[in-house]
Chain A
């Protein structure tokens, strides 16, 4: 689905990250964790076509058209109603699909509200709907739940995971949270400015109630150890 080969990304004069290589299979969920400033967001932006690649190559099945990005901040346009934010750049006939997504996310009554009238969690749900309505084959999430409280975050993690698994969407998630990386990723990679240094498979990715399982804690422990080493 996604092949990244020896990529270097510049951010202004500086190098954001280099030596980045990664293969993501269709339907796989990959979580990227790493210290602040290691270039995780830049990598996601480069995949989405929002940043140029200085060196190396990124290839996506279906091109950038087949991917959709959800940003760290919801970036809802304050002058557009919820429904219009979701169908931004799409044809009017997509409104019925947007309504279906709003129903699925429990936001059907908010369709004609402005973003200012929503809570943080509701806004992120709308931003998620905006990413999903494009029926992406590859979904890029840039710490989308970082600003939310724990309870809302876990609910949204469930929503996203259910949706991507049911639709077979490939996921690339950037996060600071080890627990989130584990819960959302069938594979977790640790990133530095100079490439990926560690990767672990998550054998309990599809398990129900995985957060309470002992394997979850041992995986978390090994990831913490890996992160300390970078």
Chain B
């Protein structure tokens, strides 16, 4: 229901802006919606969405596969933290997008360079977030693990992993927005499919309705991914949804 209210608010703002500016550069929303329906029915938009989803989901998966062990080990092993964290801090602020040409030379102009760029951008904030999550696990839980004679494997499974899950989802939400922006930029180069390509291609051809169609599509994809993350979080962290917590939330 809240999503519908939000969509109505955006549409209202869009209509007002289109009406005030009265220029083809901001078309009315109903024209864009009609364009989307027509093109989905003819099947010409599916591939753009699928290619973008493939790149972003693969990029996120690779980033998390690397960020989770990095964050967990640096968060738990001080000696490792002292070596790895300065490297993370040094590389985190670099504008990774500037390395896209380098990746294209190294990994070709296909999907791999785009996926690596997305993975690299997500990796750093995710690793730092997870590391901080592990560091913030109360010492008492580790004492409890020792008292209950948990093996190192079970300390990871029963204490560290569930304790850092909220941080993991939080970092996913933060980095998803960044990765969608990066996806848009990366699909401007040497791509024939993808929502970024679709937007820029229509912009170059001055097809503003098509361009806005691509923007709406990218936005809806982001919304869909956010809903998916929330749903997975709801299932993976069931204790956050207890009646008592719900009562206390404002």
Interface residue ranges, A against B (CB under 8 Å):
45, 48-50, 65, 68-69, 71, 73, 75, 77-80, 88-90, 113-114, 116-117, 130, 134
Interchain residue pairs with CB less than 8 A apart (11): A48-B147, A68-B147, A71-B147, A79-B162, A80-B162, A88-B158, A89-B149, A89-B158, A116-B242, A116-B244, A134-B148
> A50, B146: Cβ atoms under 8 Å?
yes
* A81: nearest chain-B partner, CB-CB: B239
* A113: nearest chain-B partner, CB-CB: B242
User: Quick one: which of B133-170 are within 8 Å of A by CB?
Assistant: 140-141, 143-150, 154, 158-159, 162-163, 165
* B159: nearest chain-A partner, CB-CB: A77
> A88, B237: Cβ atoms under 8 Å?
no
Write out the residue numbers on chain A whose beta carbons fall within 8 Å of the beta carbon of B4.
none
* B147: nearest chain-A partner, CB-CB: A69
Question: Does chain A have a CB within 8 A of B243?
Answer: yes
Q: How far is the CA of A73 from the CA of B143 in the complex (A)?
A: 12
Cβ distance B228 to chain A, nearest Cβ, rounded Å: 21
Write out the residue numbers on chain B whose beta carbons fall within 8 Å of the beta carbon of A69.
147
Write out the residue numbers on chain A whose beta carbons fall within 8 Å of the beta carbon of B147.
48, 50, 68-69, 71
Write out the residue numbers on chain B whose beta carbons fall within 8 Å of the beta carbon of A116.
239, 242, 244-245
Q: How far is the CA of A122 from the CA of B240 in the complex (A)?
A: 19
User: Quick one: which of B217-250 are within 8 Å of A by CB?
Assistant: 237-239, 242-245
Q: How far is the CA of A79 from the CA of B237 in the complex (A)?
A: 7
Write out the residue numbers on chain B whose beta carbons fall within 8 Å of the beta carbon of A50.
143, 146-147
> A79, B242: Cβ atoms under 8 Å?
no
Write out the residue numbers on chain A whose beta carbons fall within 8 Å of the beta carbon of B141.
75, 77
Cβ distance B44 to chain A, nearest Cβ, rounded Å: 46
* B140: nearest chain-A partner, CB-CB: A75
Write out the residue numbers on chain B whose beta carbons fall within 8 Å of the beta carbon of A80.
158, 162
Write out the residue numbers on chain A whose beta carbons fall within 8 Å of the beta carbon of B154.
89
Write out the residue numbers on chain A whose beta carbons fall within 8 Å of the beta carbon of B165.
79
In the complex, which of the residues A49, A79, A89, A134 contacts B150, with contact meaning CB atoms closer than 8 Å? A89
User: Quick one: which of B178-229 are within 8 Å of A by CB?
Assistant: none
Inter-chain pairs besides A71-B147, A79-B162, 10 sampled, C-beta below 8 Å? A75-B140, A75-B143, A77-B141, A77-B162, A78-B239, A79-B165, A79-B239, A89-B149, A90-B148, A116-B244
